[in-house]
Amino acid sequence: MTAPAPSSGEHLPVRTAAVWAALDALAGSGTPLRVLDVGGGSGVFAVPLARLGHQVTVVDPSADALATLERRATTAGVGDRVRGLQGDGDLLHELPLAEGDSDGGYDLALCHAVLEVVDDPATTLGEITRALRPGGQVSVATANRAGAVLARALSGHPKEALALLEDRDPAPGRTRPARRRFAPDDLLALLRNAGLEPAEWRGVAVVSDLLDATSDADPEAVRRLELALAGTSPYRDVATGLHVLATRP
């Protein structure tokens, strides 16, 4: 049996409440949208959006993630509204994105937790901009450098916290490249340089990640608090993540 479609983020993880609130404003109107989820992985966002009636194309280099996406979409009864394409966010122009999208691009793109790991965030954002229709929007979520500094400090790693603060690699000895973190102004500049017009940024997981795992705080109350803090400084400044919607003019 197909589970009921979420009408908003209330059935979804509290820590991404601010992201879902922004997406709801775009995707909750009842008009089916063409959505491109770059680095959408196993469909944490794609499948709920498909359940709201949208047509979602997920681009991800991971075959495993795409296999999980397919299973998850089928289980949710939306296999016909989710398309997985194996590929790279830096090379969207090489993919058959236009299939089924004949009138000039996507209404909405997602780029969540991806700019941290791509080769070049500016290239990825440029590719996404070109995949949007004029007036289309991209939802960008990234790690927040200030939140990462505090998290390292509070977990007893002051040297790594200082390295992050100074934009140095907190673990220079490892083989994998460091995951990027973004300061809000740097993220906004990247979006503008890609030809996008960003709206105001919001903090994601301002308090959720600080809560003790054994906390019995009412999730609905935490969700309301997250939404209240997401747009409010100084709270949003130290959130785990940043979220911003940006429009292709």
Ligand X SMILES: C[S@@+](CC[C@H](N)C(=O)[O-])C[C@H]1O[C@@H](n2cnc3c(N)ncnc32)[C@H](O)[C@@H]1O
Q: Is the Cβ of residue 117 or residue 162 nearer to ligand X in the bound state? A: 117
Q: Is the Cβ of residue 114 or residue 230 nearer to ligand X in the bound state? A: 114
Using the CB atoms, write b or e for 84-93: b if 16+ within 10 Å: bbebbbbebe
CA–CA dist 223, 6 (Å, integer)? 15
CA–CA dist 110, 137 (Å, integer)? 9
3-state secondary structure of 57: strand
How far is C-alpha 42 from the chain's CA centre?
13
* Residues 36/84, Cβ–Cβ less than 8 Å: no
**Nearest distance, CB of residue 158 and ligand X, angstroms:** 26
Q: Is the Cβ of residue 58 or residue 164 nearer to ligand X in the bound state? A: 58
Q: Is the Cβ of residue 65 or residue 138 nearer to ligand X in the bound state? A: 65
* DSSP bridge partners of 242: 142, 203
Secondary structure (H, E, C), 85-142 = EECCHHHHHHCCCCCCCCCCCEEEEEEECCCCCCCCHHHHHHHHHHHEEEEEEEEEEE
Q: Is the Cβ of residue 156 or residue 176 nearer to ligand X in the bound state? A: 176
DSSP H/E element including 55? strand 55-60
Q: Is the Cβ of residue 171 or residue 221 nearer to ligand X in the bound state? A: 171
CA–CA dist 162, 141 (Å, integer)? 24
Query: Which residues in this chain contact ligand X in the complex, by CB under 6 A?
Result: 38-41, 44-45, 60-62, 65, 88-90, 112-114, 117-118
**Nearest distance, CB of residue 180 and ligand X, angstroms:** 12
